[in-house]
Structure 1
């Protein structure tokens, strides 16, 4: 461990492990406050691209997280000869993948899924306003802190963009990646909305909307973009939820909702719900 890191923090037990290293619980020696430290082993950074991802995560996360309550904040960064260490918020409430897996394929309730998507889109809306695209939105990167608040994490694949500019390069995870990314075209921030829509579909249906036995087959299904809602799985899901997923998982980028439009949809539905309850005298 870095001498500077251990001078400022007491590093405790390992609480997670990833492709490039491990995550440990740590405590500030000044305040006693509890954090997590992600230690990236440089020996696993096989090329300049991997190293760039590791170094960029700290920089981009600082832009995305400032004042954004649904993004994991990075509080300090250290580097030594063997590793890069990022001290960040401790999210010990597990991740969304674990919550979905705990259902053993059983769909999540629509109200719970809506709460997750609303918080996720709030985080992405702020990111997009600041010119940051996550590019790897998936259940594994959606964490929960000790109070149950959703925290979007892992900005190692994120990219900054300016007004009128586009990105390129196949980045992301097969089941969640947008078709314009797979096709090798330039793309913008709406790739995150597509991915969030796929997450919503999986939460409500227990299966991905585009499936294949291999990465190539998954990409072919994504490129076709033939979105379906089998009655045996989605029969009990509201028309409003299906309509929102169609607008998020929309192959035509010009017609696909932005993060702001998704949030607007949630807000209008919430207002309608309150009006309904007022009419019944519940408030």
Structure 2
């Protein structure tokens, strides 16, 4: 599969004029399927206090093409919500004959995945969990109030300030204004809700806002435990999720080291019935009121001992051997690496004027919430009596094709915290590799053994060393 980013020329050294700014593009910070991001220096800034930005470089597509509509919609949605302090600021869009350049804030702290794994900043730090998670929650709440649903919330799409005290939600490539969705499989497999997976719900439409809340729950689990609770929230394909579905409270107590307060919060997020899922205002209050998210030293010792006795695998994320064998309490299955389902492609091009509507000038203050909990927001968490008259689903993606049903086992190791690969171009169907099977003969499990796809904007040297060690 050829990504558009692979055919872009190098822009290092290029100077862009952006209003009063003169931006010299420096080194590449990373690339995805559609573009390359560069660190840029404002040549007009004083040498004693240089100003840096991030510039995302994209191909310019013909106006009648599907990719042009998708690109414009992403820009429009990002513009509509970036007034919030915890949404990555999109300053300007610069167009040339063949290329489009997005001028963004530069986040030297990298992404939230690095903060969790490379820096370990949340371990036994309730204050940091609360501060950072509430910033993400507030940003998502703001997006929802503006009628925009992210659909790809994950640590890689949350960028950090240099001191790691502030975070910014980014990447609106899969965002939608469709309140009631049928875009099954849209997002990254670790983070999408069971109703978004769509297998168990028999294709029933689901609420985009409620599905975003599920993704926030997985991010919170990452921050507290450094692990993913399951590979995909589908009882057909994931034995960990099967175990959770049978007894949610017992699953968390047995499999993930966290406090009772954290467990209660996650149980309200990971409801199998999306209409019972906690709202963002209630989630915010629960986070603030939690005494701790972590086990005490004594509780952690008991947890580890019980974990060893049950032989239900759980491997430290910094000490992984891909060929390790982990014994199940009920079988001797060999557990090997599984590749994550790819992130879904861009949704189909919208046939209506939703992009132009979002571009329409509006006053940010006119949309700002007067209170955090309000009736207009609460309506996003209720399914309308009929959904046939709601927004066109023309912008929605069919999502990945998931594997056929196979037998599963009762227990499995908790997946390590992973990063999904870049989103694939929309014209290429998404399917699961034939090697990604869960069969009676073997169950494949995620291991952090590869460096993430280079979509983050800054990586530390220490992370490179870690990956090299894991690859040996």
TM-score range, shorter chain: 0.7 to 0.9
Name the residue aligned to 1:187.
207
Closer, same or farther in 2 for the Cα pair 1:211/1:131, shift >3 Å? same
Give the Cα separation in 2 of the matches to 1:12 and 1:26. Answer: 5
Name the residue aligned to 1:198.
218
Give the Cα separation in 2 of the matches to 1:100 and 1:54. Answer: 31
Kindly state the Cα deviation for residue 173 of structure 1 after the two structures are TM-superposed.
0.3
Name the residue aligned to 1:14.
28
Kindly state the Cα deviation for residue 20 of structure 1 after the two structures are TM-superposed.
1.7
Kindly state the Cα deviation for residue 81 of structure 1 after the two structures are TM-superposed.
4.1
2:130–2:288 Cα contact (<8 Å) kept: no
- Please tell me whether residue 264 in structure 1 is matched to residue 285 in structure 2: yes
Taking the TM superposition and a 5 Å limit, the aligned residue runs for 1:238-277 are 238-269=259-290
Q: Which has the larger radius of gyration?
A: 2
- Please tell me whether residue 35 in structure 1 is matched to residue 53 in structure 2: yes
Give the Cα separation in 2 of the matches to 1:230 and 1:268. Answer: 20
Give the Cα separation in 2 of the matches to 1:218 and 1:5. Answer: 49
> Any idea what SS the aligned residue of 2:190 has?
helix
Closer, same or farther in 2 for the Cα pair 1:102/1:29, shift >3 Å? closer
Kindly state the Cα deviation for residue 5 of structure 1 after the two structures are TM-superposed.
7.1
Name the residue aligned to 2:153.
137
Taking the TM superposition and a 5 Å limit, the aligned residue runs for 1:1-283 are 6-8=16-18, 9-29=23-43, 33-41=51-59, 48=66, 50-66=67-83, 68-102=84-118, 108-109=123-124, 111=126, 112-148=128-164, 149-161=166-178, 165-170=179-184, 171-183=186-198, 184=203, 185-211=205-231, 217-218=237-238, 221=241, 225=245, 227=248, 228-231=251-254, 233-234=256-257, 237-269=258-290
Give the Cα separation in 2 of the matches to 1:232 and 1:22. Answer: 39
Query: Which has the higher relative contact order, 1 or 2, with Cα contacts under 8 A spaced 6 or more apart?
Result: 2
The number of residues matched between the two structures is: 255
Kindly state the Cα deviation for residue 17 of structure 1 after the two structures are TM-superposed.
1.9
Give the Cα separation in 1 of the matches to 2:289 and 2:227. Answer: 28
> Any idea what SS the aligned residue of 1:158 has?
coil
> Any idea what SS the aligned residue of 1:134 has?
coil
Kindly state the Cα deviation for residue 225 of structure 1 after the two structures are TM-superposed.
4.6
Kindly state the Cα deviation for residue 219 of structure 1 after the two structures are TM-superposed.
10
Name the residue aligned to 1:281.
none
RMSD: 3.1
Kindly state the Cα deviation for residue 7 of structure 1 after the two structures are TM-superposed.
2.2
Closer, same or farther in 2 for the Cα pair 1:72/1:258, shift >3 Å? same
Give the Cα separation in 2 of the matches to 1:166 and 1:221. Answer: 25
2:122–2:129 Cα contact (<8 Å) kept: no
Give the Cα separation in 2 of the matches to 1:219 and 1:256. Answer: 22
Give the Cα separation in 2 of the matches to 1:86 and 1:225. Answer: 43
TM-score (norm 1): 0.78
Closer, same or farther in 2 for the Cα pair 1:37/1:249, shift >3 Å? same
2:262–2:290 Cα contact (<8 Å) kept: no
